Structure 1
Amino acid sequence: MGGLLRNLVPLRSSREFARISRRLLPVLAICGCLQPCWSQASSDAASVTPAVFITRATVPAKPPLESELIYEAAASYGHYKIFASGSGDFLYTAGMEYDLNCWGRLLGARFDYAGEILPLVLLKQGNKPDIWGTPQAPGYHMVSGLAVSPIGFRLLWRDGKEWMPYLEGKYGMIGFTEKALSNRATYENFSMQSALGVKLALRSRYDLRLGLFSDFHFSDAFIVPVNPGLDVMNANLGLVYHLRGARAPR
């Protein structure tokens, strides 16, 4: 009886092994079928080119905007009465103008922002002017001041050539150490400038600017009851220095 039981135990174990083997056969078959796919996927993964990530270093930087600093001086050589009633006076200025090509192009010209500061302003004013700015006595006296024009534009044609015509306008404020043109006017006045000239290419970073036809207007715009104002024609001479940005080829 004991020997029979010993023979049945291995038999039962063999049956269980056979039953388990039959259950595992489909799994082994599926694994065998998928093995070539896994091998191909592994080889494909090894041959894939690494992804290229766009970084700031790979994006080309924009070229800097062209800008200029102009050391300038102007002297008036006459006046006229259109927007103002003052007469017989002269205006002399010196300072710096900054031009930046931030607006692209307009009318076939380079369209620049223009700003100006004139720390030296001298008004050669006739003696004893009436309330409208007309001198009533012979002789002149000098009145000092300064001017700032934060708003302005410049149109520059033939940029980078030997000669470059330009048209510009600048708008701001001008102030004097005494009431200008009339003792019933104001110390501070609104200013408006317009200029037509040519810029001549020199060498390296330098140009010469000749503004032979320029107008300088200032008045108080009737912020007080009396508004004499003055319009003068002046000649403007400037030395141009290119700060940054590649100059256009000549």
Structure 2
Amino acid sequence: MLNLMRLEMKKYHLGSYVKRAIFANFVILAVMFMLLFITKIEEDPGLENYQTVLTIIDSMVRAVFIIFASVLIAKLIIGEYKYKTITLAFMYPINRKKLIASKLAIVILFTFSAIILSNALVTTIFCVITESFRLIPDTLTTTIIMQHIPFVLMNAVAASGMALIPLYFGMRKYSIPTTILSSILIVSVVSSNTGNFSLNDIIFVPITLAMIGISVAYLAIRNIEKVDI
């Protein structure tokens, strides 16, 4: 499995996606500072404590990388079926289930790692700058950070499973746009914030969606021998 994953990553030059992920982090940072200055201009107390800041950063990171995951799914799986290049891969003496499982494992591991590392990077840079220039009246404490870590880990696990749901929509007609649009729809529904509340705050919602995503992946692997190419 690990050898298959390495071959897939080399085949699709996934190193370039790491660079794009880093770029996405700086875009998130820019958006955070823009939000901060807008709230100051409008005298809105929305970003006056670090708990809120950390929650917003986590929400933005998850949204970005769930969509990112759909792009990977479109590249690694949907595109191969759409352009029928998967037939060549299936001609090799490799178990079909292992091949698809390795592709999905790449998506899950990339999404999980990207969410964790991006949270750490964006939070560190943002908080160092805001603390240095006293842009936020609150004080970032070790307690706040330690309380936030389990929250990030749980959300990263849930998001990694949730990110597999677009596979179902993409495989119906081997549509790359449908795969990506479905992820945007999921993010807009789950992560939309109204009055400091989002569906992701209801614990069973992200867990249920993660289970649905895992079920979609399982069915994709289980039925791979029956899928017409």
Look at both structures and tell me which one has the larger radius of gyration over its CA atoms: 1
Please identify which structure carries the higher strand content: 1
Higher relative contact order (CA 8 A, sep 6+): 2
Please identify which structure carries the higher helix content: 2
Give TM-score scaled by structure 1 length: 0.22
